Amino acid sequence: MRKKIVAGNWKMNMDLAEGLKFAGSLEKYFKEKPAEKAQVILCPPFIHLAGISEIIKHGKIALGAQNCASDASGAYTGEVSAWMIKSTGAQYVILGHSERRTYYHEDDKLINKKTLLAINSGLKVIFCIGEVKSEREAGQHFLIVRRQLEEGLFSLTEEQIDMIVIAYEPVWAIGTGLTATPDQAQEMHKFIREQVKEKYGNDCAKKLPILYGGSCKPSNAAEIFSKPDVDGGLIGGAALKKEDFTAIAEAF
Ligand code: PEP
């Protein structure tokens, strides 16, 4: 059985006090009512990591960052390294998110470098891929995703792939209210698993969690998660509301 995961990407929301309070209320919720089937992961801004790490002591919630530097250490003003993230108690980092690709011009090569650094620092990587609207309309979505896998991920060894969770996030569905249909999600997740199988073999492909992201909410999560190759979700907007996020975590 593959691991089911619901990860909340808080993006650049909530100041420190608000973030700690919100994490505390989720910790209380999941301590009393653990998400039976899913690993819940919170991915707050960097400044929250150490504080939240102290709050989520019951082990029902895991912690991740939203990015890391592309170098291990040194004179890189304003950057936060994978090792620093690991030292807060976080276990995961999101890399390759479409907002990083678009606003900060991160390409597959850079994302690959960050991915290797993160893994070597002991972090699991939530590796995001997905096509933009015009690419889907032009029927290019499989090609784009294939390229992102090949250039961003496939230099990893089979052992390193164990540290990866893939998040398929069609960019046209992120924060737009548009969601891929469950069949569209399944079609792409199956494709991704086939690519991994071709490269790393069946055992590796079968173990790999592949999450869906893009306007996932309580009203659509159960149907999307019911698809055989969908192993959970990377949640943006709905991760900022306790009722929505907890409902999604229970949607399996
Ligand atoms: C995301 O940014 O990873 C995401 C899935 O956002 P939203 O759920 O708001 O579409």
Q: Indicate if the pLDDT at residue 35 is higher than 90.
A: no
**Overall average pLDDT of the 143-148 stretch:** 98
Cβ burial 167-184 (10 Å sphere, 16+ → b, else e): bbbbbbbbeeeebbebeb
Q: Ligand 1, atom 6: nearest CA belongs to which residue?
A: 236
**Tokens at 141, concatenated:** 């979505």
Query: How many separate domains does the chain show?
Result: 1
What confidence score (pLDDT) does residue 187 get? 98
The H or E element that residue 22 is part of is helix 16-32
Distance CA 41, CA 9 (A): 9
Closest residue by Cα to atom 8, ligand 1, is 236
Residues flanking ligand 1, CB < 6 Å: 9, 169, 174-175, 213-216, 234-238
Q: Are 218 and 247 in contact (CB under 8 A)?
A: yes
Q: For residue 198, is pLDDT > 90? A: yes
Q: Contact, 156 vs 119, CB < 8 A?
A: yes
Is the pLDDT at 1 greater than 80? The verdict is no
Residue 57 has pLDDT above 90, yes or no: no
d(CA 79, CA 71): 9
Q: How confident is the model at residue 8 (pLDDT cuts 50, 70, 90)?
A: very high
Strands 92-95 and 210-213: unpaired
Known catalytic residue at 169 = yes
Residue 158, CB-side half-sphere exposure with 13 Å CA sphere: 11
The CATH number assigned to the domain holding 179 equals: 3.20.20.70
Q: By C-alpha distance, which of 84, 80, 81, 86 is closest to 63?
A: 86
First to last CA, the chain: 13
Residue carrying structure tokens 């991920």: 153
The answer to whether 58 is a known catalytic residue is no
Domain that holds residue 61: 5-249
- Tens of pLDDT, residues 74-133: 999 999 999 999 999 999 999 999 999 999 999 999 999 999 999 999 999 999 999 999
CA distance 168 to 214: 9
Mutate to test the pocket of ligand 1, among 10, 99, 215 (most ligand atoms within 8 A of CB): 215
Task: Out of 6, 9, 171, give the residue to mutate to test ligand 1, the one with the largest number of ligand atoms within 8 Å of its CB.
Answer: 9
**CA-based nearest residue to 51, from 19, 92, 94, 11:** 19
| CB neighbour list of residue 23: distance below 8 Å, 6 or more residues apart | 42, 44, 48, 51, 52, 55, 56, 61
CA-derived radius of gyration, the chain: 17
User: What is the 199 CA–ligand 1 centroid distance (Å)?
Assistant: 28
Secondary structure letter of residue 77 according to DSSP: T
Residue 196 Cα, ligand 1 centroid: separation in angstroms?
Answer: 24
